Amino acid sequence: MKKDVQVHSFFSDFDISLFRAGKHFRLYEKFGAHITEVDGEKGVYFAVWAPSAKNVSVIGDFNYWLEGEHPLNVRWDGSGIWEGFIPGVKKGDKYKYKIQSNVNDMTLEKADPYALKCERPPNTASIVWDLDYKWKDKKHIGSRKDKNSLESPYSIYELHLGSWRKNMDENRSLTYTEMADELVNYVKECGFTHVEFMPIMEYPYDPSWGYQLTGYFAPTSRFGDPQEFMHLVDAFHAAGIGVILDWVPSHFPEDKHGLGLFDGSHLYEHPDPRRGYHPDWKSLIFNYGRNEVRSFLISNAIFWLDKYHADGLRVDAVASMLYLDYSREDGEWEPNEHGGRENLEAISFVRELNQEVYKSFEGVQTIAEESTSFPMVSRPVDLGGLGFGMKWMMGWMHDTLEYFKKDPIYRRYHQNDITFSMTYTFTENFVLPLSHDEVVYGKHSLLGRMPGDEWQRFANLRLLYSYMFTHPGAKLLFMGAEIGQYEEWNYNTSLDWHLLQYDYHKGIKSLLTGLNKLYRKEPALYEKQFVAEGFEWIAYDDSENSVLSYIRKGEDRKDDLIIVCNFTPSVLENYRVGMPREGKLKEIFSSDKREFGGSGVSNKQLKIEETAIHGKDFSASITIPPLGTVVFKIL
């Protein structure tokens, strides 16, 4: 039986003024489909922003998808909001908005931008849902300020939920519920402090890996419903592991049911194609200067921190937002009002986003994937920065991988490649990323980049990871790196878990588990990981032997660590290294342990002698294993 739309509103005048000013950051409490009760009758309140529409109606399986059965009412205040309460609509019902536009008399069918659940692609309808869930992570949230701080270990396991592991019997990805057991236990076993999910917001096209979103407020239904995703987050929190979500405010796809030309006008995207269209990704760019769009995006960031208890957001493609000439030739972009190439509206948006996030949630982090030398990305807004907590260190990644792919016999000529990062490593709070982008499109897997015979390739990989974990900064590894994946990542297939039956691959996993344990145990590796006081070179200029030696420092001098890396396959015996003080030298970690697949070269406890070298009054004679890293402590 048809029931008419009733006049009803979740919006106060104050809500409207905030929305129009770009200052309403909880829009998910107002827009969308909300199960509610009006005058004793249960149903759903719908609200959508479509200022260029002349008519908007809700179509769905409850009215046989007939246009005009349930027309919404446009608000009188000029906000462009259409709303109304439809009795009898219930959780699980599918719906869309049918929009008749004032622009060229277009008629459009659009998914709800604020939908809490979407149909599983390739279907495109929104689904009425709620977010009822009893969280069990109060202890985790209460301790987040300390565990998620910049002075704590930050070791991130980046993964793509669809291809981490498959149910081989049914040839499908694991569900959120299955991952709450298998994935959580695995990440805990490996010792990572955080996971980072490639975008889990609903996306229509699998090969986009989730970076082309259509359902900004809905976890993808590929793996289950919203409560099941909450359960997965809850399970990670119970295991003491933080959850970071990839978030994409930089662009969105042109799919007909999505945000593009939402009401027939350029509502969410910038109307000028020089600023509203990405030639590389063939996608649309948000209009950061439009107040309502800023409210939409910041509300979306807040939503995942609020309703899904995320511990951080890794913001994708920040560089593409900051520069008007990003991936454009001369004549394809227009300078800003000062004649520069910076996108002033996007910069303002990013700063406001970070201010709101850090004001609203204690202990969370925002992380910028930003590939340029834009200054002060991870510095506070009130000091002139963009306000992110951390930034990916793309220069370190590039230089390090370039160095490691060289045959060790030539590395002596490229010492600067492996030391250059220390000239700028404390200009930002850097994350060292060996991410999914480095193992696709013909770049080879990390193991596939390593030179030499089989033993040397695995030794090089162990050396790379050990150098990474002893270098200042947080750490990020993409799934598969921890088992020495031979093949490039394929979004459509599982990781090659069968490799763990082989000793060298088991050794890589054991090594990374050991490195995570070392990182979490030793304060010198994290207490000052973002400040210059936490690092000191011993010798960076021994290019003849391709050796680096340095000190990592904590708050307490007794926690200092001595790290020595040998980038050649030769055992270096009686190698003298300067020491900051006298005492006894104890080896606490070696990448060459037999359990890691190494040769077992090691150092027994050594006496530090009063012999000057490397500008130090004291030194010790050590043995450095081939293609190995050793970590010492002074007793």
Q: Give the span between the Cα atoms of 30 and 557, in whole angstroms.
A: 54
What is the predicted pLDDT for the residue at 90? 97
Q: How confident is the model at residue 355 (pLDDT cuts 50, 70, 90)?
A: very high
Percent of the chain beyond pLDDT 90?
96
| Cβ–Cβ under 8 Å, residues 132 and 447 | no
How open is the CA angle 114-119-121, to the nearest 5 degrees?
A: 115
Q: What is the mean pLDDT of the chain?
A: 96
Does the annotation count 407 as an active-site position? no
Among the listed residues 234, 246, 316, 352, the single catalytic one is: 316
Q: How confident is the model at residue 331 (pLDDT cuts 50, 70, 90)?
A: confident
What is the predicted pLDDT for the residue at 303? 98
**pLDDT(1) > 80:** no
| Cβ–Cβ under 8 Å, residues 56 and 74 | yes
Encoded amino acid at 314, one letter: R
Outline where 430-521 has alpha helix (H). Answer: 446-449, 454-470, 503-521
Does the annotation count 369 as an active-site position? yes
For residue 314, what are the contacts with CB-CB under 8 A and spacing of at least 6?
A: 196, 244, 245, 246, 247, 366, 367, 368, 369
Q: Give the span between the Cα atoms of 41 and 87, in whole angstroms.
A: 6
| Cβ–Cβ under 8 Å, residues 10 and 34 | yes
What sign for the dihedral angle of Cα 7, 10, 14, 17?
A: negative
Q: How confident is the model at residue 137 (pLDDT cuts 50, 70, 90)?
A: very high
What is the predicted pLDDT for the residue at 171? 84
What is the predicted pLDDT for the residue at 169? 83
Percent of the chain beyond pLDDT 70?
100
- For residue 411, the SS3 value is helix
Cis peptide preceding 580, ω within 30 of 0: no
Among the listed residues 158, 225, 255, 369, the single catalytic one is: 369
Domains, the chain, with CATH or none: 13-127 (2.60.40.10), 199-237+248-389 (3.20.20.80), 533-634 (2.60.40.1180)
pLDDT in tens, 577-620: 999 999 999 999 999 999 999 999 999 999 999 999 999 999 99
How open is the CA angle 447-451-453, to the nearest 5 degrees?
A: 95
What sign for the dihedral angle of Cα 82, 253, 126, 30?
A: negative
**pLDDT(466) > 80:** yes
**pLDDT(3) > 80:** no
For residue 37, what are the contacts with CB-CB under 8 A and spacing of at least 6?
A: 43
Mean pLDDT of 271-286: 93
What is the predicted pLDDT for the residue at 596? 98
What is the predicted pLDDT for the residue at 2? 56
